[in-house]
């Protein structure tokens, strides 16, 4: 009975967080401009309500009673896992004074305007005081949350539980060692033609084709829809309603296509969560206070990157689907071969901007940011030294010269929201995607499916090993159960080495 | 300080109710089919939260303290009006046991399916037991809410405060007396041609024209948007975001056009509420637990009917805008004169279905339902006798023979939701619209504006006398302040008599 009461309370917390997500989706896709005046308050009120419900005296009493009631159950039972997650969340939130939450929210609400102005006018000095404050506040946050080795660990916990500066260091070192030679070797090679990607593609025709490809990999429109937005995202309101968005550049078609495949990958995760977990903590992030079924941001990113890159940028995908692309875009792709198309959508060109980076250089943008955040938090890097540090690292990693801060340290919105600790999941996702994809392809039925354009066997593997579990297991436990290993960069390095060696005719070095 | 605290609590109640409205809008316009599985719970949870916030011990303490704090203020000050409304709402909700709320919600959730099946199969007997239960439950509800004369008064209170069976009786009698002769006289006249309204109008072109006309009467798209739905509605999430919907019949264009004008009228009310009232009880229905600025359902309907009928179906409106309609619908309206168009959109034909009724016969559908509801609630009519009673009254009022219950007593969705008491506002709205419009036109600037297609002076009158006040004054106080009289049917009877006499060439009887 106590456990049932706790579950019902958590169901209502989930309802409120889903409601907040619906408001957020609406604000980013449908809301008329004037609506922003009061929408912020509405979202904030729902956040406060969810927080209060989770940490109330009533909930604590239900939690105590549920723990007592379930004491005889196995520790790894679903019931005890749920109760343990609620306990952990209640403790986590109890450590953070409400004053700190309020100050961060205030910082976030002023930060975005200041950052936008600083970026538009290439004026880092304008943003620097706010960033100083953000760092100080997050340092304070790290101290109250607690950590064993590095204060940055406390900040990453909300997004990628278990990941630490100590675990990331060898991972990043291995990636640099494995990938930098490829980046350098490609720099000496001729680039494929890609002019046809920049022809005039109408947004309407892009919408149709992007949605068709999302459905092709399994995105279920009975429980989803595709809309247009400025910064694409996936968002879910339980597994029964999982929406994706993309954006359209008239003169760069891949943006909508791979944007939609990326978000569809996220969506497949949420659509695949066990229905029994609906409205439970196994489909609610009680630490981040966000209604999501995926177990970590990195795990989520693994699914988006898997369907965007391993599936959607593969030669075998386009061997099947390029005729449909050509039929759909006859004016733009009529004179293009599948090989040209495949090479064009996989061009590797070191650049300045993270969100425009290709598969091979993307992680260097991430490493740079993670290293900077950790150094800012532990005090080894000063905000005032940041632009110089940024530009030096960009040159070291990718050999590019940063012309100004607008195209450098001011490019990302993240820090203006008051948030630090959110970047590592992009690389974790890439690594994890390769690990899962390599394992899946060992199954002949899956490989054969991919070769003939049937993605059901692959998706069934992901549902079985990842999606359905929701937040039942930690990210590394998921990986262990699915692949026999915790997070492991080797399949990723192998994948990129093979892929880019073939695309650019590189000689493979012995690994 | 106490008043400020109460106001902040009410602001959060308003946020939650607005969030619920956003979920409801989404469910009716955007949600994929699968979403319905969990959306109901999400909306229900927000309702419960708003209810609990409003009636909590904390709120009661804030309310006591605010009353003490404001005791020296004038009783009709904004502050004391707000506090009085909160007190009234807290008392109202305290009278209703939660068990009764729960039973009505359960009844509503099963009712719709049963009703839909009964209507589809023309089987009143299938729906009758549910309707019996609905009547019994609403009778119970009336007893706990309390009333002076008739239990139906307690049910109408939520929708049309102050209206009672005793006040409606003379109003309805006067309407019958004034309007029935017109209906009968028109029955002997030739009908105008209207074939061109049923030509093929594409939904896309209908959307454009309907939206253009809504904007023409003043609907502000910076704080609104028009979408497609099955049952059109207006809904607001504060005055800053007020959305309308319409529906499109390929072969009956007026549905989208007058639907949009009707909802735009509702929207103008909400868009015009004083910005200072945002998030306060003066823009929140704390009795109905609904975030709305309009003071009663009838007052709201007055604005929709005013802009749909008094403005949008007037000859002077089309003298200005028919050329634009012809240009937009050149294939469909190219061979039609403005006179033909005006006569067609004002055809009067007694029919079976309320939602398809014209201006002159609409109120008879309403009176029938109100009389039935009141009689069911006071026990003078039995559910089993309902079909026979319905059919007899339809014949008495409109001279039509009801062929089956699907086109009779089973046509409306309302009773299947567990709700009784919602019908009178349609007629109140018609009456009030005429009263306000007649008063407004006494101002030369407003009349001249209407004649040249400038609706700003009219809208300014409505903003000044109705919209901006939100829920500050009662409906009758609003009318008194604006027109010098409480609700008065004479301007409405005069309006319809003049209009239909002219349209059908009737000789006017002495009034």
pLDDT of residue A314: 98
Asked if the model's pLDDT at residue A509 lies above 80, the reply is no
pLDDT of residue B106: 86
- Contact yes or no for A427/A175 (Cβ under 8 A): yes
- Contact yes or no for B45/A255 (Cβ under 8 A): no
If one compares B321 and A507, the residue with the highest pLDDT of the two is: B321
- Contact yes or no for B479/B440 (Cβ under 8 A): no
CA distance A443 to A184: 34
Q: Is A58 on the interface with B (CB under 8 A)?
A: no
Of A30, A34, A49, the CB nearest to B240: A34
Asked if the model's pLDDT at residue A98 lies above 90, the reply is no
pLDDT of residue A467: 98
Contact call for B38 and A238, based on CB within 8 A: yes
In chain A, which residues have their Cβ closer than 8 Å to the Cβ of B12?
A: 45, 48-49
- Nearest residue in A to B42, CA atom: A15
Query: Looking at the structure, do residues B55 and B176 belong to the same domain, yes or no?
Result: no
- The residue behind tokens 């975001």 is B241
Report chain B's mean pLDDT, rounded to a whole number. Answer: 96
CB-CB neighbours of B1 under 10 Å: 9
Question: Which residues of B are known binding-site members for Zn(2+)?
Answer: 262, 266, 301
Which domain-ending residue is among B55, B70, B95?
B95
CA distance A244 to A233: 6
In a domain, A141, yes or no: no
Helix, strand, or coil (residue A10):
helix
Question: Which residues of A are known binding-site members?
Answer: 262, 266, 301
Contact call for A240 and B35, based on CB within 8 A: yes
- The residue behind tokens 């700190």 is A100
User: Taking the CA atoms of chain B, what radius of gyration do you get in angstroms?
Assistant: 23
- Alpha carbon dihedral B184, B187, B189, B190, in 10-degree steps, equals 160
Query: Looking at the structure, do residues A377 and A482 belong to the same domain, yes or no?
Result: yes
pLDDT by residue (tens digit) across B65-120? Answer: 999 999 999 999 999 999 999 999 999 999 999 889 889 888 888 888 899 999 99
Indicate the pLDDT class of residue A511, thresholds 50, 70 and 90. very low
Indicate the pLDDT class of residue B508, thresholds 50, 70 and 90. low
User: Phi/psi zone of residue B494: left (φ > 0), alpha (ψ -120 to 50 degrees), beta?
Assistant: alpha
- The residue behind tokens 């296509």 is A257
User: Taking the CA atoms of chain A, what radius of gyration do you get in angstroms?
Assistant: 23
In terms of DSSP H, where are the helices of B217-307?
254-271, 297-305
pLDDT by residue (tens digit) across B45-66? Answer: 999 999 999 999 999 999 999 9
CA distance A209 to A257: 7
In chain B, which residues have their Cβ closer than 8 Å to the Cβ of A9?
A: none
Query: Looking at the structure, do residues A415 and A308 belong to the same domain, yes or no?
Result: yes
pLDDT of residue A345: 98
Residues of A assigned a catalytic role: 263
Q: Which has the closest alpha carbon to B152: B487, B419, B416?
A: B419
Give me the helix-helix angle, A424-441 and A444-452, nearest 10°: 100
> Cβ neighbours of residue B289 under 8 Å, at least 6 residues apart?
B17, B47, B50, B51, B54
Query: Looking at the structure, do residues A87 and A178 belong to the same domain, yes or no?
Result: no
In a domain, B304, yes or no: yes
Asked if the model's pLDDT at residue A510 lies above 70, the reply is no
In chain A, which residues have their Cβ closer than 8 Å to the Cβ of B42?
A: 15, 18-19, 22, 237
CA distance A469 to A9: 21
Indicate the pLDDT class of residue B511, thresholds 50, 70 and 90. very low
CB-CB neighbours of A412 under 10 Å: 16
Q: Which has the closest alpha carbon to B137: B376, B324, B330?
A: B376
Give me the helix-helix angle, B424-441 and B362-378, nearest 10°: 140
Of A34, A241, A279, the CB nearest to B32: A241
In a domain, A206, yes or no: yes
Contact call for B35 and A220, based on CB within 8 A: no
Average pLDDT for A475-504: 97
pLDDT of residue B509: 57
Q: Is B220 on the interface with A (CB under 8 A)?
A: yes
Average pLDDT for A355-374: 96
Average pLDDT for A66-70: 97
- Alpha carbon dihedral B36, A267, A109, A371, in 10-degree steps, equals 160
Q: Is B451 on the interface with A (CB under 8 A)?
A: no
In chain A, which residues have their Cβ closer than 8 Å to the Cβ of B36?
A: 240
| Interior/surface letters A19-47, b for 16+ CB within 10 angstroms, e for the rest | bbbbbbbbbbbbbbebbeebbebbbebbb
Give burial (CB, 10 Å; 0-12/13-18/19+) of A376: buried
Active site residue B263: yes
- Nearest residue in A to B241, CA atom: A35
CATH number at residue A244: 1.10.1370.30
pLDDT of residue A110: 85
CA distance A108 to A43: 14
Query: Looking at the structure, do residues A88 and A177 belong to the same domain, yes or no?
Result: no
Contact call for A222 and B12, based on CB within 8 A: no
Of B31, B42, B241, the CB nearest to A18: B42
Query: Looking at the structure, do residues A315 and A181 belong to the same domain, yes or no?
Result: yes
Query: Looking at the structure, do residues A288 and A402 belong to the same domain, yes or no?
Result: yes
In a domain, B49, yes or no: yes
Q: Which residues pair with A244 in a beta bridge?
A: A226, A234
CA distance A95 to B237: 35
Question: Which residues of B are known binding-site members?
Answer: 262, 266, 301
Query: Looking at the structure, do residues A332 and A478 belong to the same domain, yes or no?
Result: yes
SS (H, E, C) A249-317: CCCCCHHHHHHHHHHHHHHHHHHCCCHHHCCCHHHCECCCCECCCCCCHHHHHHHHHHHHHHHCCCHHH
pLDDT of residue A321: 98
Asked if the model's pLDDT at residue A494 lies above 50, the reply is yes
Query: Looking at the structure, do residues B170 and B87 belong to the same domain, yes or no?
Result: no
Of B15, B26, B44, the CB nearest to A42: B15
pLDDT by residue (tens digit) across B245-296? Answer: 999 999 999 999 999 999 999 999 999 999 999 999 999 999 999 999 999 9
Count how many pairs of residues, chain A against chain B, have C-beta atoms within 8 Å: 121
The shortest C-alpha distance from B241 to chain A (Å) reads 5
In chain B, which residues have their Cβ closer than 8 Å to the Cβ of A30?
A: 30, 225
- The residue behind tokens 């660990």 is A153
Q: Which residues pair with B242 in a beta bridge?
A: B236
pLDDT of residue A168: 98
In a domain, B363, yes or no: yes
Q: Which has the closest alpha carbon to B342: B238, B192, B454?
A: B192
In chain A, which residues have their Cβ closer than 8 Å to the Cβ of B38?
A: 18, 237-238, 240-241, 278-279
Percent of chain B with pLDDT over 90: 94
Token pair belonging to B349: 């034909």
> Cβ neighbours of residue A176 under 8 Å, at least 6 residues apart?
A364, A367, A397
Q: Which residues pair with B236 in a beta bridge?
A: B242
Which domain-ending residue is among B95, B118, B139?
B95
CA distance B206 to B212: 10
pLDDT by residue (tens digit) across A379-417? Answer: 999 999 999 999 999 999 999 999 999 999 999 999 998
pLDDT by residue (tens digit) across B391-445? Answer: 999 999 999 999 999 999 999 999 998 889 999 999 999 999 999 999 999 999 9
Chain A, window 23-52: residues with a beta carbon less than 8 angstroms from a chain B beta carbon: 23, 26, 30-39, 41-42, 44-46, 48-49
- The residue behind tokens 């369907």 is A307
- The residue behind tokens 């593997």 is A461
The shortest C-alpha distance from B81 to chain A (Å) reads 23
In a domain, B134, yes or no: no
Query: Which DSSP string do the residues of B363-384 spell out, in sequence order?
Result: HHHHHHHHHHHHHHHHTSS-GG
Average pLDDT for B479-503: 97
pLDDT of residue B250: 95
The shortest C-alpha distance from A13 to chain B (Å) reads 9
CA distance B197 to B184: 25
Average pLDDT for A237-266: 97
Which domain-ending residue is among A61, A95, A129?
A95
pLDDT of residue B102: 86
Kindly list the strands in the beta sheet with A226-228, ordered across the sheet, starting from the edge strand earlier in the chain. Answer: A226-228, A242-246, A234-236
Domain region containing B6: 1-95
Of A36, A37, A45, the CB nearest to B16: A45
pLDDT by residue (tens digit) across A427-461? Answer: 999 999 999 999 999 999 999 999 999 999 999 99
In a domain, A445, yes or no: yes
Helical (H) or strand (E) element with A35: none
Percent of chain A with pLDDT over 90: 94
pLDDT of residue A109: 81
CA distance A56 to A54: 6
Query: Looking at the structure, do residues A89 and A174 belong to the same domain, yes or no?
Result: no
Positive or negative torsion for Cα B410, B413, B415, B416: positive
Token pair belonging to B196: 């061109």
Q: Choosing among A45, A56, A244, which should be mutated to test the B contact, i.e. which has the most B CBs within 10 A?
A: A45
Helical (H) or strand (E) element with A242: strand A242-246
Query: Looking at the structure, do residues B186 and B276 belong to the same domain, yes or no?
Result: yes
Contact call for A37 and B240, based on CB within 8 A: yes
Q: Which residues pair with B491 in a beta bridge?
A: none
In a domain, B447, yes or no: yes
Strands A226-228 and A242-246 come out as parallel
**Counted domains in chain B:** 2
Query: Looking at the structure, do residues B90 and B174 belong to the same domain, yes or no?
Result: no
| Catalytic member of B163, B263, B308, B371 | B263
- Contact yes or no for A209/A328 (Cβ under 8 A): yes
Q: Is B392 on the interface with A (CB under 8 A)?
A: no
User: How many residues are there in chain B?
Assistant: 511
């Amino acid at each position: 009975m106590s456990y049932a009461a706790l579950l019902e309370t958590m169901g209502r917390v989930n309802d409120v967080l889903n409601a907040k997500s619906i408001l957020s989706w609406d604000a980013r896709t449908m809301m008329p401009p004037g609506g922003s005046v009061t929408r912020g308050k509405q979202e904030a009120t729902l956040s406060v309500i969810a927080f209060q419900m989770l940490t109330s005296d009533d909930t604590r009493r239900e939690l105590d009673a549920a723990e007592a009631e379930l004491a005889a159950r196995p520790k790894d039972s679903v019931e005890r896992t749920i109760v343990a997650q609620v306990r952990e969340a209640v403790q986590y939130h109890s450590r953070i004074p409400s004053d700190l939450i309020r100050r961060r929210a205030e910082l976030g609400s002023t930060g975005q305007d200041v950052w936008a102005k600083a970026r538009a006018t290439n004026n880092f000095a304008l943003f620097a005081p706010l960033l100083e404050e953000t760092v100080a506040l997050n340092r304070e946050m790290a101290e109250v949350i607690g950590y064993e080795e590095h204060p940055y660990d406390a900040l990453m916990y909300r997004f990628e539980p278990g990941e630490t500066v100590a675990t990331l260091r060898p991972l990043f070192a291995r990636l640099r060692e494995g990938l930098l030679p490829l980046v350098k070797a490609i720099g000496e090679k001729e680039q494929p033609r890609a002019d046809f990607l920049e022809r005039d593609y109408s947004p309407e025709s892009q919408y149709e084709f992007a949605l068709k490809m999302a459905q092709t990999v399994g995105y279920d429109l009975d429980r989803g829809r595709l809309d247009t937005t400025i910064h694409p995202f996936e968002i879910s309101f339980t597994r029964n309603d999982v929406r994706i968005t993309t954006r359209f550049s008239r003169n760069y078609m891949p943006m909508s296509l791979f944007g939609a495949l990326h978000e569809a990958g996220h969506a497949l995760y949420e659509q695949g969560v066990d229905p029994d977990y609906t409205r439970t903590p196994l489909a609610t992030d009680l630490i981040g206070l966000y209604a999501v079924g995926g177990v970590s941001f990195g795990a989520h990113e693994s699914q988006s990157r898997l369907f965007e890159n391993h599936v959607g940028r593969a030669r075998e995908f386009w061997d099947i689907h390029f005729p449909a692309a050509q039929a759909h875009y006859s004016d733009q792709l009529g004179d293009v071969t599948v090989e040209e198309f495949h090479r064009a959508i996989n061009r590797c060109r070191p650049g300045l901007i993270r969100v425009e980076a290709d598969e091979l250089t993307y992680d260097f943008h991430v490493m740079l940011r993670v290293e900077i955040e950790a150094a800012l938090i532990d005090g080894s890097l000063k905000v005032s030294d940041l632009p110089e540090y940024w530009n030096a690292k960009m040159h070291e990693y990718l050999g590019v010269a940063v012309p100004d801060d607008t195209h450098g340290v001011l490019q990302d919105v993240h820090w203006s929201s008051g948030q630090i600790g959110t970047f590592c999941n992009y690389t974790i996702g890439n690594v994890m995607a390769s690990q899962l994809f390599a394992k899946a392809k060992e199954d002949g039925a899956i490989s054969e499916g991919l070769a003939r354009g049937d993605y059901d066997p692959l998706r069934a593997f992901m549902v079985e090993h990842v999606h359905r579990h929701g937040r039942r297991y930690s990210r590394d436990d998921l990986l262990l159960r699915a692949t026999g290993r915790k997070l492991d960069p080797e399949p990723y390095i192998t994948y990129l080495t093979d892929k880019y060696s073939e695309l650019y005719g590189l000689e493979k070095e012995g690994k």
